[in-house]
Copies of this chain bind each other. A is one copy, B any other.
Amino acid sequence: MIVLAVDCMGGDHGPKVTLPACRRFLDRRPDAQLILVGQAEALAGFSHERARVVAASQVVTMDDAVEVALRKKKDSSMRVAIQQVKDGAAQAAVSAGNTGALMAIARYLLKTLDGIDRPAIATQMPNAKGSATTVLDLGANVDCTAEHLLQFAVMGSALVSVLKNDPHPTVGLLNIGEEAIKGSDEIKRAGELLRAAAQAGDLNFMGNVEGNDIYKGTSDLVVCDGFVGNVLLKTSEGLATMIGQFLREEFSRGIFTKLAAIVSYPVLKALKKRMDHRRYNGAALLGLRGLVFKSHGSADALAFEQALARAYDAASHQLLARLQSRIAHAAPLLSSPATTPAP
Protein backbone atom coordinates (compact mmCIF):
# COMPACT_ATOMS: atom_id res chain seq x y z
CA MET A 1 0.00 0.00 0.00
CA ILE A 2 1.38 3.40 -1.04
CA VAL A 3 0.34 6.40 1.06
CA LEU A 4 0.71 9.95 -0.27
CA ALA A 5 0.14 13.15 1.70
CA VAL A 6 -1.55 15.80 -0.44
CA ASP A 7 -1.45 19.53 0.25
CA CYS A 8 -5.03 20.10 -0.92
CA MET A 9 -4.94 23.88 -0.44
CA GLY A 10 -1.87 24.70 -2.54
CA GLY A 11 -1.71 26.08 -6.06
CA ASP A 12 -3.78 28.68 -7.86
CA HIS A 13 -7.03 26.72 -7.51
CA GLY A 14 -6.77 24.73 -4.25
CA PRO A 15 -9.37 22.05 -3.45
CA LYS A 16 -11.38 22.79 -6.63
CA VAL A 17 -8.58 21.12 -8.53
CA THR A 18 -6.83 18.92 -5.97
CA LEU A 19 -9.91 17.03 -4.76
CA PRO A 20 -11.18 15.87 -8.18
CA ALA A 21 -7.60 14.86 -9.01
CA CYS A 22 -7.37 12.87 -5.77
CA ARG A 23 -10.63 11.05 -6.54
CA ARG A 24 -9.52 10.06 -10.04
CA PHE A 25 -6.14 9.01 -8.73
CA LEU A 26 -7.70 6.79 -6.04
CA ASP A 27 -10.11 5.24 -8.52
CA ARG A 28 -7.24 4.28 -10.82
CA ARG A 29 -4.86 2.95 -8.19
CA PRO A 30 -6.54 0.47 -5.87
CA ASP A 31 -3.40 0.06 -3.75
CA ALA A 32 -3.04 3.79 -2.99
CA GLN A 33 -4.14 5.73 0.05
CA LEU A 34 -4.23 9.49 0.41
CA ILE A 35 -3.88 11.76 3.40
CA LEU A 36 -5.71 14.93 2.43
CA VAL A 37 -4.25 17.90 4.27
CA GLY A 38 -6.10 21.20 4.50
CA GLN A 39 -8.73 23.28 6.19
CA ALA A 40 -11.46 20.96 7.50
CA GLU A 41 -14.37 22.91 5.98
CA ALA A 42 -12.72 23.00 2.54
CA LEU A 43 -12.31 19.21 2.51
CA ALA A 44 -15.60 18.34 4.23
CA GLY A 45 -17.39 17.35 1.04
CA PHE A 46 -14.83 14.66 0.12
CA SER A 47 -15.10 11.09 1.20
CA HIS A 48 -13.37 7.97 -0.03
CA GLU A 49 -12.61 4.72 1.75
CA ARG A 50 -8.89 5.11 1.04
CA ALA A 51 -8.62 8.78 1.96
CA ARG A 52 -8.53 10.48 5.31
CA VAL A 53 -8.32 14.14 6.21
CA VAL A 54 -5.63 15.66 8.40
CA ALA A 55 -6.61 19.20 9.32
CA ALA A 56 -4.27 22.17 8.89
CA SER A 57 -5.58 25.63 9.73
CA GLN A 58 -3.28 27.74 7.54
CA VAL A 59 -2.49 28.08 3.86
CA VAL A 60 0.80 29.20 2.28
CA THR A 61 -0.14 31.59 -0.53
CA MET A 62 1.71 31.87 -3.84
CA ASP A 63 3.03 35.28 -2.74
CA ASP A 64 4.12 34.38 0.78
CA ALA A 65 7.78 35.04 1.45
CA VAL A 66 9.76 31.94 2.43
CA GLU A 67 10.24 33.36 5.95
CA VAL A 68 6.50 33.83 6.41
CA ALA A 69 5.76 30.30 5.23
CA LEU A 70 8.46 28.88 7.46
CA ARG A 71 8.00 30.88 10.65
CA LYS A 72 4.48 32.28 10.73
CA LYS A 73 2.54 29.42 9.19
CA LYS A 74 3.52 26.40 11.22
CA ASP A 75 0.11 24.83 10.72
CA SER A 76 -0.01 25.26 6.95
CA SER A 77 -1.36 22.46 4.76
CA MET A 78 2.01 22.40 2.97
CA ARG A 79 3.96 21.92 6.16
CA VAL A 80 1.56 19.40 7.69
CA ALA A 81 1.67 17.35 4.46
CA ILE A 82 5.47 17.20 4.59
CA GLN A 83 5.28 16.39 8.30
CA GLN A 84 3.33 13.24 7.34
CA VAL A 85 6.35 12.09 5.35
CA LYS A 86 8.70 12.94 8.18
CA ASP A 87 6.52 10.99 10.64
CA GLY A 88 6.45 7.96 8.36
CA ALA A 89 2.69 8.24 7.87
CA ALA A 90 3.14 8.87 4.13
CA GLN A 91 5.83 7.81 1.64
CA ALA A 92 5.65 11.04 -0.35
CA ALA A 93 4.07 14.49 -0.23
CA VAL A 94 2.60 16.43 -3.18
CA SER A 95 1.91 20.16 -3.31
CA ALA A 96 1.05 22.72 -5.99
CA GLY A 97 2.04 25.58 -3.69
CA ASN A 98 4.76 28.20 -3.83
CA THR A 99 8.02 26.48 -4.88
CA GLY A 100 10.35 28.51 -2.69
CA ALA A 101 8.25 27.84 0.41
CA LEU A 102 7.90 24.15 -0.42
CA MET A 103 11.63 23.71 -0.84
CA ALA A 104 12.40 25.64 2.36
CA ILE A 105 9.85 23.77 4.49
CA ALA A 106 10.82 20.38 3.03
CA ARG A 107 14.47 21.11 3.69
CA TYR A 108 13.75 22.34 7.23
CA LEU A 109 11.58 19.39 8.19
CA LEU A 110 13.16 16.51 6.30
CA LYS A 111 16.83 17.65 6.11
CA THR A 112 19.12 16.76 3.22
CA LEU A 113 20.52 13.31 2.58
CA ASP A 114 24.10 12.59 3.63
CA GLY A 115 26.43 13.57 0.80
CA ILE A 116 24.04 16.15 -0.63
CA ASP A 117 24.67 19.86 -0.04
CA ARG A 118 21.61 21.20 -1.79
CA PRO A 119 18.38 19.60 -2.89
CA ALA A 120 17.47 20.10 -6.55
CA ILE A 121 14.25 20.25 -8.58
CA ALA A 122 13.94 17.85 -11.51
CA THR A 123 11.28 17.81 -14.19
CA GLN A 124 10.59 16.04 -17.46
CA MET A 125 10.40 17.79 -20.81
CA PRO A 126 9.04 16.19 -24.00
CA ASN A 127 11.56 15.30 -26.69
CA ALA A 128 11.53 14.58 -30.41
CA LYS A 129 11.97 10.86 -29.77
CA GLY A 130 8.47 10.80 -28.30
CA SER A 131 9.98 10.26 -24.87
CA ALA A 132 10.98 12.73 -22.15
CA THR A 133 14.24 14.32 -21.08
CA THR A 134 14.70 14.88 -17.34
CA VAL A 135 16.35 18.20 -16.50
CA LEU A 136 17.72 19.39 -13.18
CA ASP A 137 18.21 21.76 -11.41
CA LEU A 138 15.28 24.02 -12.22
CA GLY A 139 15.68 26.96 -9.94
CA ALA A 140 16.56 25.85 -6.43
CA ASN A 141 20.25 26.67 -6.72
CA VAL A 142 21.61 29.68 -8.58
CA ASP A 143 25.34 29.27 -7.98
CA CYS A 144 26.53 25.71 -8.33
CA THR A 145 29.95 24.16 -7.90
CA ALA A 146 31.14 21.17 -9.91
CA GLU A 147 30.35 18.95 -6.90
CA HIS A 148 26.77 20.19 -6.82
CA LEU A 149 26.38 19.37 -10.50
CA LEU A 150 27.71 15.88 -9.82
CA GLN A 151 25.24 15.48 -6.96
CA PHE A 152 22.44 16.49 -9.35
CA ALA A 153 23.68 13.94 -11.90
CA VAL A 154 23.68 11.12 -9.33
CA MET A 155 20.25 12.03 -7.94
CA GLY A 156 18.79 12.58 -11.39
CA SER A 157 20.07 9.16 -12.49
CA ALA A 158 18.22 7.56 -9.57
CA LEU A 159 15.03 9.41 -10.54
CA VAL A 160 15.26 8.51 -14.23
CA SER A 161 16.02 4.88 -13.37
CA VAL A 162 12.59 4.87 -11.69
CA LEU A 163 10.73 6.92 -14.31
CA LYS A 164 12.12 5.04 -17.32
CA ASN A 165 12.84 1.75 -15.64
CA ASP A 166 16.39 1.89 -16.96
CA PRO A 167 19.19 1.29 -14.45
CA HIS A 168 21.78 3.15 -16.57
CA PRO A 169 20.17 6.32 -17.94
CA THR A 170 22.48 8.49 -20.05
CA VAL A 171 23.60 11.77 -18.51
CA GLY A 172 24.55 14.96 -20.39
CA LEU A 173 26.19 18.05 -18.92
CA LEU A 174 24.59 21.19 -20.34
CA ASN A 175 27.26 23.32 -21.94
CA ILE A 176 27.79 25.71 -24.86
CA GLY A 177 29.61 23.23 -27.05
CA GLU A 178 30.23 19.52 -27.25
CA GLU A 179 33.98 19.79 -26.77
CA ALA A 180 35.27 19.19 -23.25
CA ILE A 181 37.23 22.47 -23.36
CA LYS A 182 34.07 24.60 -23.60
CA GLY A 183 32.38 26.53 -20.83
CA SER A 184 33.36 28.15 -17.56
CA ASP A 185 36.05 26.71 -15.28
CA GLU A 186 33.35 25.31 -12.99
CA ILE A 187 31.62 23.54 -15.87
CA LYS A 188 34.91 22.09 -17.10
CA ARG A 189 35.62 20.83 -13.60
CA ALA A 190 32.11 19.36 -13.45
CA GLY A 191 32.87 17.53 -16.70
CA GLU A 192 36.00 16.03 -15.12
CA LEU A 193 34.06 14.96 -12.02
CA LEU A 194 31.29 13.41 -14.11
CA ARG A 195 33.85 11.50 -16.16
CA ALA A 196 35.47 10.24 -12.97
CA ALA A 197 32.06 9.18 -11.65
CA ALA A 198 31.39 7.36 -14.92
CA GLN A 199 34.67 5.50 -14.59
CA ALA A 200 33.74 4.52 -11.05
CA GLY A 201 30.46 3.10 -12.36
CA ASP A 202 28.29 5.77 -10.69
CA LEU A 203 26.92 7.31 -13.87
CA ASN A 204 26.38 6.69 -17.55
CA PHE A 205 27.93 10.02 -18.57
CA MET A 206 27.98 10.80 -22.28
CA GLY A 207 29.65 14.22 -22.18
CA ASN A 208 28.51 17.75 -22.90
CA VAL A 209 25.15 18.44 -24.47
CA GLU A 210 23.74 21.72 -25.77
CA GLY A 211 20.35 23.38 -25.32
CA ASN A 212 18.86 21.78 -28.45
CA ASP A 213 19.80 18.30 -27.18
CA ILE A 214 17.10 18.56 -24.49
CA TYR A 215 14.42 18.46 -27.19
CA LYS A 216 16.34 16.09 -29.42
CA GLY A 217 16.44 13.62 -26.55
CA THR A 218 20.19 13.08 -26.91
CA SER A 219 20.52 12.03 -23.26
CA ASP A 220 17.94 10.78 -20.74
CA LEU A 221 19.10 13.35 -18.21
CA VAL A 222 20.47 16.88 -18.58
CA VAL A 223 22.31 18.49 -15.67
CA CYS A 224 22.66 22.25 -15.22
CA ASP A 225 22.62 24.86 -12.48
CA GLY A 226 19.28 26.20 -11.30
CA PHE A 227 19.66 29.60 -12.96
CA VAL A 228 20.23 28.11 -16.40
CA GLY A 229 17.54 25.46 -15.79
CA ASN A 230 14.95 28.04 -14.83
CA VAL A 231 15.79 30.23 -17.82
CA LEU A 232 15.58 27.35 -20.30
CA LEU A 233 12.27 26.16 -18.86
CA LYS A 234 10.69 29.63 -18.92
CA THR A 235 12.13 30.37 -22.37
CA SER A 236 10.60 27.14 -23.65
CA GLU A 237 7.22 28.04 -22.14
CA GLY A 238 7.44 31.46 -23.79
CA LEU A 239 8.33 30.06 -27.21
CA ALA A 240 5.64 27.35 -27.12
CA THR A 241 3.05 29.96 -26.12
CA MET A 242 4.14 32.26 -28.93
CA ILE A 243 3.99 29.50 -31.55
CA GLY A 244 0.52 28.53 -30.28
CA GLN A 245 -0.59 32.16 -30.55
CA PHE A 246 0.83 32.47 -34.09
CA LEU A 247 -0.99 29.26 -35.11
CA ARG A 248 -4.30 30.57 -33.72
CA GLU A 249 -3.80 33.95 -35.39
CA GLU A 250 -2.96 32.44 -38.77
CA PHE A 251 -5.87 29.97 -38.63
CA SER A 252 -8.35 32.72 -37.74
CA ARG A 253 -7.28 35.26 -40.35
CA GLY A 254 -10.20 34.73 -42.77
CA ILE A 255 -12.99 32.42 -43.83
CA PHE A 256 -10.69 30.12 -45.77
CA THR A 257 -8.18 29.76 -42.95
CA LYS A 258 -11.00 29.14 -40.46
CA LEU A 259 -12.22 26.32 -42.68
CA ALA A 260 -8.68 24.98 -42.76
CA ALA A 261 -8.68 25.07 -38.96
CA ILE A 262 -11.84 22.96 -38.86
CA VAL A 263 -10.41 20.44 -41.31
CA SER A 264 -7.16 20.39 -39.34
CA TYR A 265 -8.83 20.07 -35.97
CA PRO A 266 -7.80 16.43 -35.31
CA VAL A 267 -4.22 17.25 -36.30
CA LEU A 268 -4.04 20.32 -34.09
CA LYS A 269 -5.59 18.40 -31.24
CA ALA A 270 -3.00 15.64 -31.62
CA LEU A 271 -0.22 18.22 -31.70
CA LYS A 272 -1.60 19.90 -28.59
CA LYS A 273 -1.71 16.57 -26.82
CA ARG A 274 1.90 15.79 -27.69
CA MET A 275 2.99 19.19 -26.44
CA ASP A 276 0.68 19.13 -23.41
CA HIS A 277 2.81 20.20 -20.46
CA ARG A 278 0.19 18.74 -18.11
CA ARG A 279 1.46 15.28 -19.02
CA TYR A 280 4.85 16.24 -17.62
CA ASN A 281 3.54 17.82 -14.43
CA GLY A 282 5.13 16.77 -11.15
CA ALA A 283 8.67 17.91 -10.44
CA ALA A 284 10.73 15.97 -7.92
CA LEU A 285 12.51 17.68 -5.03
CA LEU A 286 15.60 15.50 -4.81
CA GLY A 287 18.16 15.23 -2.04
CA LEU A 288 15.83 15.23 0.97
CA ARG A 289 15.27 12.48 3.52
CA GLY A 290 11.80 11.98 2.13
CA LEU A 291 9.98 12.26 -1.20
CA VAL A 292 8.32 15.55 -2.13
CA PHE A 293 6.73 16.36 -5.48
CA LYS A 294 5.80 19.79 -6.79
CA SER A 295 2.89 20.32 -9.13
CA HIS A 296 2.73 23.43 -11.29
CA GLY A 297 0.73 26.11 -9.43
CA SER A 298 -1.69 26.55 -12.32
CA ALA A 299 -2.27 22.80 -12.72
CA ASP A 300 -5.78 21.59 -13.52
CA ALA A 301 -7.15 18.29 -12.20
CA LEU A 302 -5.55 16.24 -15.00
CA ALA A 303 -2.17 17.83 -14.40
CA PHE A 304 -2.39 17.48 -10.62
CA GLU A 305 -3.30 13.82 -11.03
CA GLN A 306 -0.09 13.40 -13.04
CA ALA A 307 1.89 14.84 -10.15
CA LEU A 308 0.19 12.36 -7.80
CA ALA A 309 0.99 9.53 -10.21
CA ARG A 310 4.62 10.55 -10.36
CA ALA A 311 4.89 10.60 -6.56
CA TYR A 312 3.17 7.21 -6.48
CA ASP A 313 5.64 5.76 -9.02
CA ALA A 314 8.59 7.16 -7.08
CA ALA A 315 7.33 5.75 -3.79
CA SER A 316 6.40 2.35 -5.17
CA HIS A 317 9.82 1.98 -6.85
CA GLN A 318 11.67 2.95 -3.66
CA LEU A 319 13.17 6.13 -5.09
CA LEU A 320 14.43 7.18 -1.67
CA ALA A 321 16.37 3.95 -1.15
CA ARG A 322 17.74 4.13 -4.69
CA LEU A 323 18.87 7.71 -4.12
CA GLN A 324 20.61 6.74 -0.90
CA SER A 325 22.34 3.77 -2.45
CA ARG A 326 23.56 5.73 -5.47
CA ILE A 327 24.74 8.59 -3.29
CA ALA A 328 26.58 6.19 -0.97
CA HIS A 329 28.29 4.58 -3.95
CA ALA A 330 29.38 7.94 -5.37
CA ALA A 331 30.29 9.38 -1.96
CA PRO A 332 34.07 9.69 -2.49
CA LEU A 333 33.50 12.07 -5.43
CA LEU A 334 30.51 13.98 -4.12
CA SER A 335 31.86 16.30 -1.49
CA SER A 336 33.54 19.63 -2.20
CA PRO A 337 37.18 19.77 -1.14
CA ALA A 338 36.19 22.63 1.19
CA THR A 339 33.57 20.59 3.05
CA THR A 340 35.58 17.37 3.35
CA PRO A 341 37.05 16.97 6.83
CA ALA A 342 40.84 16.83 6.90
CA PRO A 343 42.16 13.24 6.92
Decide if A183 touches B227 in the complex (CB within 8 Å): yes
Q: Is A270 an interface residue (CB 8 A)?
A: yes
Instruction: Scan A203-240; emit 1 where CB is below 8 A from any B CB, else 0.
Output: 00000001111111000000010111011111111111
Residues on B with C-beta less than 8 A from A270 are: 250, 253
Q: Is A89 an interface residue (CB 8 A)?
A: no
Q: Is A266 an interface residue (CB 8 A)?
A: yes
Q: Which of B212, B235, B243 contacts A211 (CB 8 A)?
A: B235
Decide if B211 touches A233 in the complex (CB within 8 Å): yes
Residues on B with C-beta less than 8 A from A325 are: none
Q: Which of B212, B226, B227, B263 contacts A235 (CB 8 A)?
A: B212
Per the bound structure, the CA–CA distance linking A250 and B142 in Å amounts to 39
| Protomer copies | 2
Q: Closest Cβ of chain B: how far from A129's Cβ, in Å? A: 10
Residues on B with C-beta less than 8 A from A251 are: 264, 267
Q: Is A145 an interface residue (CB 8 A)?
A: no
Least CB separation from A182: chain B residue? B142
Residues on B with C-beta less than 8 A from A187 are: 142, 227
Per the bound structure, the CA–CA distance linking A139 and B176 in Å amounts to 7
Residues on B with C-beta less than 8 A from A230 are: 176, 210-211
Decide if B266 touches A257 in the complex (CB within 8 Å): yes
**Complex A-B: 6 CB contacts under 8 Å:** A143-B184, A176-B226, A176-B234, A183-B227, A215-B241, A216-B241
Interface residues of A (CB under 8 A from B): 126-128, 139, 142-143, 174, 176, 183-185, 187, 210-216, 224, 226-228, 230-243, 245-247, 250-251, 253, 256-257, 259-261, 263-264, 266-267, 270-271, 274-275
